[in-house]
Structure 1
């Protein structure tokens, strides 16, 4: 249970200014079906986060507690560095004629593959609670996907996402420093 809430909070912070959320907003406007688009995005995120949880099942038992903490610190470090980079707009998938569900599911899967969310699911999951980490990251991505789909592209891009990314970067880098120094026994 210890991984559920932190994974949720970290995922929401990481996803707010990322490509998958903007793509969800774009496709919700394009298809005029926000709930279907949000559901398809959630399905794509579920598949990706489930793969991360399965990876945590495989590598978690091989790591010492300090290595697990260092793994989490590295996830926060990369999350913070990623939040400092300007977010680029995703491909609008205008040529995709697969319908609202398939276009959103496949597009979100391809855009979100290897994103911070999976790394956080893996990092929280190596502590021996991979399915709680999966549930937390999935709930976080679901909240952001639903919000993006319901607001649509016009309102989504007007949100202060740059400021949110800056706050996320500071929080993630601070967490990386604290967790990493503890893992390396520097404190």
Structure 2
């Protein structure tokens, strides 16, 4: 559940959602873009879960909590700034599905939420659930962006929403850091 909520919040107004809107407009196939996004998200999340599983036995529970606080702080700090417009992939001539799959995978794999998924997987007794939650959570933002298209997506109040998300991540990070450092 934590990964689902974190990923849903992190992708509000972020570059991957914007890219999904751009590609859905370009190819006029929002359903195909959403399917490609789901596969790309699942693949990126699986890599993050694998990294979390490798990391888990190497660090203590308090260190995992502190890493989660850091991951949330970085995600919150990033949300304070306007999302950088993604490359529109105009030169890509791979077709609707391959362009969407590869372009969105690159966006997701380099996304800050991956660090959160790594740490959540490292802390979880069932690490795969962190990947499933992150995939579903990100789709909560990606699917509406693809269905709405670029113009309608940008008419939404994304900037104020990103500021609220940033505040939520930063407050959560501060609380977890205080717990990890035994300050509360």
TM band (smaller chain): over 0.9
1:90 is aligned to 2:86: yes
SS class of match (1:179): helix
Cα drift, residue 111 of structure 1: 2.1
**CA RMSD after TM alignment:** 1.0
Cα drift, residue 20 of structure 1: 0.6
> How many residues of Structure 1 are paired with residues of Structure 2 in the alignment?
183
What is residue 162 of structure 2 aligned with on the other side? 165
1:26 is aligned to 2:19: no
**Structure 2 stretches of 5 or more lacking a match?**
none
Distance in 2, matches of 1:114 and 1:24, equals: 15
TM-score normalized by the length of structure 1 = 0.95
Task: Check conservation: 1:49, 1:117, Cα contact below 8 A.
Answer: no
Cα drift, residue 38 of structure 1: 0.8
Runs (4 or more) in structure 1 with deviation over 3 Å come to none
Cα drift, residue 43 of structure 1: 1.1
SS class of match (1:126): helix
Equivalent residue runs for 1:51-70 within 5 Å: 51-70=47-66
Task: Check conservation: 1:42, 1:145, Cα contact below 8 A.
Answer: no
Distance in 1, matches of 2:113 and 2:136, equals: 11
Q: Compare 47-56 and 138-147 and name the one that shifted more.
A: 138-147
